[in-house]
């Protein structure tokens, strides 16, 4: 899981750097198709193809990590197993359904990420609290410095999350 997450992160950083260096100020790059067309036009079809493969690889790695994390949580914490086929369907069916109903892919992607961002506080706060409690994790409890950094990071994530929500809903209105 860590390797897949690392690969997804490296691919995402690479795509961000590619897009930032190539697409700055370009019109029509507000969609994935527009970004691909602009990259292909500016850097050639080979780079455009590599960009498309990178997007696919990143999406697959992210889906795999999410599916594996969900399975681990269900099995480890709740002692319940969900069949692999059902896990794959839960991951795949919502996006296929949205696209088959004709929803705009870019808007669907943005809205899905905004919805996912609502879950971040519900994961961060318990994680910081549980890893800081010596009665639960003993000698592995977070140090004061790590707790301070964790709560500061969580505060920053919350602020960015609120900003994301603000910009998303004011631009959609």
Tens digits of pLDDT across the chain (173 residues): 677 667 777 877 887 787 777 777 777 777 778 888 888 888 899 988 988 888 887 777 777 777 778 788 778 877 778 888 888 888 789 888 988 999 888 788 778 878 888 788 888 899 999 999 999 999 999 999 999 999 999 999 999 888 888 887 787 65
In the chain, the number of structural domains is 2
User: Helix 2-23 crosses helix 45-76 at what angle (to 10 degrees)?
Assistant: 150
Q: Let me know if residue 103 belongs to a domain.
A: no
Nearest 5 degrees, angle CA 57-CA 4-CA 150? 120
Task: Please indicate, yes or no, whether residues 74 and 133 belong to a single structural domain of this protein.
Answer: no
**Assessment of whether the complete model's pTM goes beyond 0.95:** no
Q: Let me know if residue 75 belongs to a domain.
A: yes
Task: Please indicate, yes or no, whether residues 122 and 76 belong to a single structural domain of this protein.
Answer: no
Task: Please indicate, yes or no, whether residues 72 and 143 belong to a single structural domain of this protein.
Answer: no
Domain of 45, in residue numbers: 1-82
């Amino acid at each position: 899981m860590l390797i897949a997450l690392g690969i997804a992160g490296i691919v995402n950083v690479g795509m961000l750097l590619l897009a930032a260096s190539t697409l700055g100020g370009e019109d029509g790059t507000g969609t994935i198709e527009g970004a691909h067309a602009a990259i292909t036009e500016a850097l050639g079809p080979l780079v455009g193809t590599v960009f498309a493969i990178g997007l696919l690889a990143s999406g697959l790695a992210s889906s795999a990590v999410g599916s594996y994390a969900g399975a681990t949580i269900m099995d480890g914490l709740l002692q319940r197993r969900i069949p692999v086929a059902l896990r794959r369907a839960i991951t795949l069916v919502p996006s296929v359904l949205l696209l088959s109903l004709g929803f705009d892919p870019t808007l669907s992607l943005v809205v899905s990420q905004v919805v996912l961002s609502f879950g971040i506080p519900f994961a961060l706060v318990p994680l910081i609290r549980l890893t800081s409690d010596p009665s639960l994790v003993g000698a592995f409890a977070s140090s004061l410095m790590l707790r301070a950094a964790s709560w500061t990071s969580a505060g920053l994530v919350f602020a960015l999350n609120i900003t994301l929500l603000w910009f998303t809903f004011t631009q959609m209105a």
